[in-house]
Amino acid sequence: MRIGFIGLGVMGAPMARHLADAGHEIVTVLNRSPLPQGLTASVVASAAEVARGSEIVVTMLPDTPDVERVLLGEDEQNGAGQTCKIANQIIVALNIEAVAEALVFASKAGCDPAKVRGALMGGFAASRVLEVHGQRMIDRTFAPGFRIKLHQKDLNLALDSARALGVALPNTAMAQQLMNACSAHPGGAEADHSSLV
C-alpha cells in the first residue's frame, strides 16, 4: 500500500518508519525538513501530490494552523474532522486524569500501583490510557510521545469552541488547569501528557 505522510516529527517519523518496515510501498512524504534518518521515501512538493500518489494519507502536524495551511489553503473551512479530534483529546485528557488519580490513591493507601493497574486491566476500567500511560506513571518515564503543550493547545481549542457553543466542559477545564500546573515546572510543557500524575 502507498501511504502518504504529512509531518515527520516526534510522532510522525516513527509511525512512517514502522509502516515502511512492515512492507508497505514507499511512503510518500511532504516535509519541510530533510527525511529522518532510516526512512526511505519519495518527497513531493504539495499535499495534493501526496494525495494523488497515495492510497491513504496520514497527517501528523502540531497545531491547527499547520493543518489548515497544508490541507485547506486560504478561504476554506474545516469540517467534522477537527471537531472529532478535539472530542478525542477531551476523552484522552480525562482518562489520563482519572488514571493518575486512581494510581496516586492506590499508592497513598499502601497498595502497589503496578498490581492495582494489573487488576484494573482485567475489568471495566481497562483502557489504552491505563495500559500505556498507567505504566509510564508507575515507571516515572515521561519522554514525550504527545507533549503536554500540544494537549494544552487541544484543550484550549475545546474550551474556546465550547464557550462559542454555550456548552459547559467543567472536567475539561480542570484537566487543562492540571496541565497548566505541569507546564509551570521546568521542562514540563515538553514532557509527555502522562506526566499529569
pLDDT, one tens digit per residue, over 32-53 is 667 777 777 878 877 888 888 8
H helices present in the chain, as ranges: 12-21, 47-52, 64-67, 80-108, 113-120, 128, 134-139, 148-165, 170-183
Q: What is the pLDDT of residue 76?
A: 47
Q: What angle do CA 4, 194, 79 make, to 5 degrees?
A: 40
pLDDT, one tens digit per residue, over 71-84 is 776 544 555 777 88
- Domain range for 98 is 80-195
* 24 inside domain: yes
CA quadruple 129, 130, 131, 133: dihedral sign: positive
Q: What is the pLDDT of residue 9?
A: 80
Q: What is the pLDDT of residue 25?
A: 66
Q: What angle do CA 67, 69, 74 make, to 5 degrees?
A: 130
3-state DSSP call for residue 195? helix
Q: What is the pLDDT of residue 84?
A: 85
> Where among 66, 88, 120 does a domain terminate?
66
Q: What pairs with residue 59 in β-bridges?
A: 6
Domain shared by 51 and 130, yes or no: no
pLDDT, one tens digit per residue, over 53-65 is 888 888 888 887 8
pLDDT, one tens digit per residue, over 81-122 is 778 889 999 999 999 999 999 999 999 999 999 999 999 999
3-state DSSP call for residue 192? strand
Q: What is the pLDDT of residue 161?
A: 92
Domain shared by 32 and 105, yes or no: no
| Low-confidence winner among 71-75, 131-135, 192-196 (lowest mean pLDDT) | 71-75
Domain shared by 30 and 127, yes or no: no
pTM for the full model? 0.64
Mean pLDDT, all residues of the chain: 87
Phi, psi of 28 (to 5 degrees): -85, 130
- Which residue did the predictor score with more confidence, 163 or 4? 163
Q: What is the pLDDT of residue 108?
A: 98
Counting Cβ atoms within 10 Å, is residue 58 exposed (0-12), middle (13-18) or buried (19+)? middle
Q: What is the CATH number of the domain that holds 139?
A: 1.10.1040.10
Phi, psi of 194 (to 5 degrees): -70, -15
Query: What number of other Cβ atoms are within 10 A of residue 96's Cβ?
Result: 28
> Where among 40, 66, 92 does a domain terminate?
66
Catalytic residue among 85, 108, 115, 153: 85
Q: Is 85 a catalytic residue?
A: yes
Q: What percent of the chain has pLDDT over 70?
A: 91
Domain shared by 18 and 93, yes or no: no
- Confidence bin at 5 (pLDDT 50/70/90): confident
